[in-house]
């Protein structure tokens, strides 16, 4: 048995979640519903503009949230990332360690300032991210741990890494190592802007195809240059043995390598969609690494995601985790 269910690579960020009105995005001239990279000066300017509005601070980064969720569910994970030599870096590291996630952070040099993401949530629950990468922009193959990766069932790659050349090369190297050692590879396309501006890099990471691809509807259409999901679903088969297209309240479309099924979502009042896709991926990966088929794993992941979107913040609380685990037990008993 492998030591880790999933070895992940991605950004290390401290999220600053802020609820705003729709017209605030217009006033600040920020594109809605996507992730935009910003520099440190713009980060501080934006915080100044939003001063006085209540916010929630939490450790983030897409893959970090996914591994955090897996760990909550009872999985074993390892995360390779890069943090700065500052209080925010300490905050991130302690959060990982306190939840049992093993990392490369004791074996890698800390420099600069830790990355931060200002997450703006509008009344329609859509999230708009403004990311200052900081130290995580320096992520490279030096942060990879082939020893840890060799002991994992899955390599999980966050698509946001494609925005930085060295990080993209590190993702390619990790995927090549995984391919050479019969380790399955999962990739999240992460954001429509990653597909729009860095599609070639994503294709380089994919290589001859990944085992599992995660994307939402918009990303699927953009990546496959399709004008409808029927065409997109067929074209995705050239890039992944299996894939999941998340569809918000409608649930998810899942292709398990043999057949595709629409797995219905759970209807809840939506407050904040931040972290929903990350939690979905974490619970889904937990499911398929613990003996569950793709469709039951997606059903459980839909349920977990419904818990996240019904409140403010990107992660499941401990009572919510227990609820999801109870639902998993019911799925097993009814199978």
225-273 pLDDT, tens digit each:
999 999 999 999 999 999 999 999 999 999 999 999 999 999 999 988 8
Instruction: Give the pLDDT of residue 333.
Output: 63
* 301-321 tens-digit pLDDT: 999 999 999 988 888 999 999
* 98-156 tens-digit pLDDT: 999 999 999 888 999 999 999 999 999 899 999 999 999 999 999 999 999 999 999 99
**Number of structural domains in the chain:** 1
Backbone angles phi, psi at 162, to 5 degrees: -65, -20
> Is the dihedral angle over the CA atoms 314, 137, 213, 75 positive or is it negative?
negative
Q: Residue 223 pLDDT more than 70? A: yes
User: What's the domain range around 80?
Assistant: 4-334
Distance, in Å, from the CA atom of 33 to the CA atom of 300, rounded to the nearest integer, reads 25
Residue 214 maps to which CATH number?
3.40.1190.20
Distance, in Å, from the CA atom of 275 to the CA atom of 60, rounded to the nearest integer, reads 9
Percent with pLDDT over 70 in the chain: 99
Q: Under a CB-based contact definition with an 8 Å cutoff, are residues 69 and 304 in contact?
A: yes
* 29-43 tens-digit pLDDT: 999 999 999 999 999
Q: Which of these, 132, 157, 172, lies nearest to 14 by C-alpha position?
A: 132
Q: DSSP letter string over 148-217?
A: HHTTEEEEEEEGGGGGSHHHHHHHHHHHHHHHHTT-EEEEE---HHHHHHHHHHHHHHHTT-EEEEEEEH
Tokens standing for 171?
């993702």
- Three-state secondary structure call for residue 119: strand
Tokens standing for 172?
């390619």
How many whole angstroms from its chain centre is CA 325? Answer: 21
Tokens standing for 254?
């899942």
* 45-90 tens-digit pLDDT: 999 999 989 888 889 999 999 999 999 999 999 999 999 999 999 9
Tokens standing for 25?
């995005």
Instruction: Give the pLDDT of residue 216.
Output: 98
In sequence order, which residues have a C-beta less than 8 Å from that of residue 250 and are 6 or more positions away? 262, 264, 265
How many whole angstroms from its chain centre is CA 263? Answer: 20
Mean pLDDT across 14-24: 94
Q: Which of these, 186, 181, 117, 139, lies nearest to 158 by C-alpha position?
A: 186
How many whole angstroms from its chain centre is CA 242? Answer: 17
- Give, for 132, the enclosing helix (H) or strand (E): strand 127-132
**What pTM does this model have?**
0.94
């Amino acid at each position: 048995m492998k030591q880790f269910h999933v070895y992940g690579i991605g950004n290390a960020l401290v999220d600053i979640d802020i609820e705003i009105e729709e017209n605030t995005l217009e006033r600040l001239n920020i594109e809605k519903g996507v992730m935009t990279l910003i520099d440190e000066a713009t980060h501080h300017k934006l915080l100044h503009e939003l001063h006085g509005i209540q916010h929630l601070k939490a450790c983030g980064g897409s893959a970090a949230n996914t591994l955090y969720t897996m760990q909550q569910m009872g999985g074993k994970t390892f995360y390779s990332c890069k943090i700065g030599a500052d209080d925010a870096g300490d905050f991130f590291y302690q959060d990982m360690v306190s939840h049992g996630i093993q990392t490369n952070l004791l074996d890698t040099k800390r420099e600069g300032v830790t990355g931060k993401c200002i997450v703006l949530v509008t009344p329609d629950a859509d999230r708009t991210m403004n990311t200052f990468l900081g130290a995580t922009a320096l992520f490279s193959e030096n942060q990879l741990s082939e020893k840890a990766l060799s002991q994992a069932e899955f390599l999980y790659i966050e698509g946001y890494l494609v925005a930085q050349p060295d990080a993209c090369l590190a993702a390619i190297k990790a995927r090549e190592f995984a391919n050479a050692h019969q380790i399955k590879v999962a990739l999240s396309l992460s954001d429509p802007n990653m597909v729009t501006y860095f599609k070639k890099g994503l294709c380089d990471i994919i290589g001859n195809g990944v085992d599992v691809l995660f994307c939402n509807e918009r990303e699927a259409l953009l990546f496959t240059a399709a004008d409808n999901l029927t065409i997109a679903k067929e074209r995705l088969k050239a890039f992944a043995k299996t894939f999941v297209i998340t569809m918000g309240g409608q649930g998810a479309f899942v292709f398990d390598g043999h057949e595709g099924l629409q797995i219905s979502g759970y209807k809840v009042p939506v407050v904040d969609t931040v972290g929903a896709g990350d939690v979905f991926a974490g619970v889904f990966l937990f499911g398929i690494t613990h003996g569950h088929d793709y469709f039951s794993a997606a059903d459980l992941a839909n349920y977990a995601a419904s818990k996240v979107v019904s409140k403010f913040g990107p992660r499941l609380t401990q009572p919510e985790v227990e609820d999801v685990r109870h639902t998993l037990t019911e799925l097993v008993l009814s199978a």
